[in-house]
Amino acid sequence: MNITIVGTGYVGLVAGACFADSGNDVFCIDKDVSKISQLENGEIPIYEPGLKDIVARNAKNGRLRFSTDIKAGVEFGEVIFIAVGTPQDEDGSADLSYVLGVADDIGRHINAPKVIVDKSTVPVGTAKLVAERIARHTDISFEVVSNPEFLKEGAAIDDFMRPDRVVVGVPSEAAATVMKELYAPFVRTNNPILVMDVASAEMTKYAANAMLATRISFMNEIANLCERVGANVDHVRIGIGTDKRIGMSFLFPGIGYGGSCFPKDVQALIRTARDHDVPLLIGEAVEAVNRAQKNALVRKVISHFGGSSKLAGKTFGIWGLAFKPRTDDTREAPALTVCEEILKCGGALRLYDPEAIETFKHRFGEHETVTYASSNYDAVKEVDALLICTEWNDFRHPNFSKLKELMKKPIIFDGRNLFSLDEMRRNGFEYFSIGRPKVSFG
């Protein structure tokens, strides 16, 4: 099948590469000339494990092409995916200007009946808006389908190739047939293709992310309560997670969620609910808890050192800048909040992440009292404490003796609960984590 992907960001590039890898001819279109130039030269503008190899293999075989020519892209595809950004607007809603701009382009250049697929994360009613915009420019028949993505950054290739489910919202049986054919290679183990109405598919994406965000915020509140009452959240998490009705997923406490999906999608869902006079009280609470939780680690630091003014002149190492491991994405990353607050208190920083240093620099900027380290050990040289913001595997088994030698004092504030309390006691660290008892020296 001839497929056009408009937008070569995270979702579009992964989808295009994976569709090409299953034998389709894929034409990826983007207005960003520099990004297309990178892709044509075999350079991948995002970090996603396995993506570079798939892009290179399919580009070499001629199944995957890149261009800025939207007219050629629209004419090429039997199925056209809209995979452009929907950034958060000032009022919390999703900005659909890029999506509707692509719809206008499709309407101007459509040359035959097509299936148009909303792959971007969009609120309920967007497919109808896209159809209206295309129809302004043409009398050629087309159908607009909703096909939300459920990719986890860091595991996107596996998620696309072996999805838990594929959700498609269709206006007709003919469109459903096209989508089933397209996704058939990815569901050979009988994971379902869920065919539903368009509005339900659009809502499913937001509902899924809001549910996952709710579990995270709920567990963070429980962790904070555990600290106050002397409980250990590790035990509580297992105690509730082994209930089959609850399960273990997304019950790990920490310093909040970030990234391009959960924060934006929860706020967009809240806005949609307000627009329809249906208060989303749980969603609003989830967002408020997450916003406060990003400061949890800094609150511990300030309390330990005796007040915010006491951080002046001290240096803090930071492990982890991406919002989660296995990605270089720093959008809404808790590390941004942590670093901003430390700097406000007059502290200096030594920062390290295996993949996200450049994207963090771009978002956070350069500061006189901020040093970007070359390794996790370089980040702790002569620091007054280490703060852990992202649970990279690289950080799980450090040489604790080496850490103690490099640090001024063996103090760790762990926002991801990487280490056991017994391990910290044995190695002589003062250790603060989330929802667990403090470990003191000795």
Model pLDDT, residue 54: 97
Superfamily of structural domain 2-196: NAD(P)-binding Rossmann-like Domain (3.40.50.720)
Question: What is 294-432's CATH number, 3.40.50.720, 3.40.250.10, 3.30.70.580, 3.30.420.40?
Answer: 3.40.50.720
Q: What is the pLDDT of residues 306-326, one digit of tens each?
A: 999 999 999 999 999 999 999
The arrangement of secondary structure in 205-292, i.e. its CATH architecture, is Orthogonal Bundle (1.10)
Say whether pTM exceeds 0.75.
Answer: yes
- 75-129: pLDDT as tens digits: 999 999 999 999 888 778 889 999 999 999 999 999 999 999 999 999 999 999 9
Decide if pLDDT at 441 tops 80. no
Give pLDDT tens digits for 62-76: 999 999 999 999 999
Region 334-350: mean pLDDT is 97
28 annotated active-site: no
Q: Note every long-range contact of 406-412, with CB atoms under 8 Å and residues 24 or more positions apart, other chains counting.
A: 406/377, 406/380, 406/381, 406/382, 407/317, 407/380, 407/381, 407/382, 407/383, 408/382, 408/383, 408/384, 409/384, 409/385, 410/441, 411/304, 411/384, 411/385, 411/386, 412/385, 412/386, 412/387, 412/388
Kindly state the percentage of the chain with pLDDT values over 70: 100
Neighbours of 415 (CB within 10 A): 29
| For the chain, domain boundaries | 2-196, 205-292, 294-432
Q: What is the mean pLDDT of the chain?
A: 96
Residue of 261, 339, 345, 389 marked catalytic: 261
Matching fold, domains 205-292 and 294-432: no
Average pLDDT over residues 236-264: 95
Percent of the chain residues past pLDDT 90, beyond the cut: 96
**Residue range 351-396, pLDDT digits in tens:** 999 999 999 999 998 899 999 999 999 999 999 999 999 999 999 9
Specify the pLDDT at position 442: 55
